[in-house]
């Protein structure tokens, strides 16, 4: 039961927060549109950055909910004997199908962790810019010539007769 609480509470918070973020973003955009018909360059850039950030957050959280919740839903629905039983030895075809379903949704849970990087790359302009700066700095660091240390010599002593 603790597993379900630890997953369902964050998922509820994520879904409700997404709804609040989307509603407030739409209201803000409508309000700005009605107040000023002509958009200024500064507010346009800020608006674009805000939209990009909202899109990235909503995309990441939707992926989390879509990829993680089926596992816990299936774990809740399927009999405990199937979900807790280790290994892949089955008595019936039904148990084998249940285990396949559990394995599929377990893999989806891990896919969520792997796909986050790509979702950030696709939806976050600022994230792409920061990643590009990081990679270029690392590449520049690799191409620098290492500096030789003066008077750094090593000697070994032989203990054989």
Is residue 13 very low, low, confident or very high in pLDDT (cuts 50, 70, 90)?
confident
- Directed axis angle between helix 125-143 and helix 41-77, to 10°? 90
Q: What are phi and psi of 37, to 5 degrees?
A: -80, -30
The pTM is what? 0.60
91-146 pLDDT, tens digit each: 678 877 888 888 898 898 889 888 888 888 887 777 888 888 988 888 887 766 55
Cβ neighbours for 62, distance < 8 A, ≥ 6 positions apart: 18
Alpha carbons within 13 angstroms on the beta-carbon side of residue 148 total 4
User: Is residue 51 within 8 Å of residue 25, measured between CB atoms?
Assistant: yes
């Amino acid at each position: 039961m603790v597993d379900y609480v630890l997953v369902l509470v964050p998922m509820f918070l994520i879904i409700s927060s997404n709804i609040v973020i989307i509603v407030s973003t739409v209201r803000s955009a409508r309000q700005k549109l009605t107040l000023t018909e002509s958009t200024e360059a500064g507010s346009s850039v800020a608006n674009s950055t805000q939209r990009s950030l909202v899109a990235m957050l909503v995309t990441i959280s939707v992926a989390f909910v879509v990829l993680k919740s089926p596992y816990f839903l299936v774990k809740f629905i399927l009999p405990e004997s199937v979900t807790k039983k280790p290994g892949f030895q089955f008595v019936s075809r039904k148990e084998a199908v249940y285990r396949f379903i559990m394995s599929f949704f377990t893999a989806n849970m891990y896919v969520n962790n792997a796909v986050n990087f790509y979702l950030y790359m696709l939806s976050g302009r600022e994230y792409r810019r920061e990643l590009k700066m990081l990679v270029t700095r690392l590449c520049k660091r690799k191409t620098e010539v290492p500096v030789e240390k003066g008077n750094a010599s090593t000697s070994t002593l032989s203990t054989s007769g």
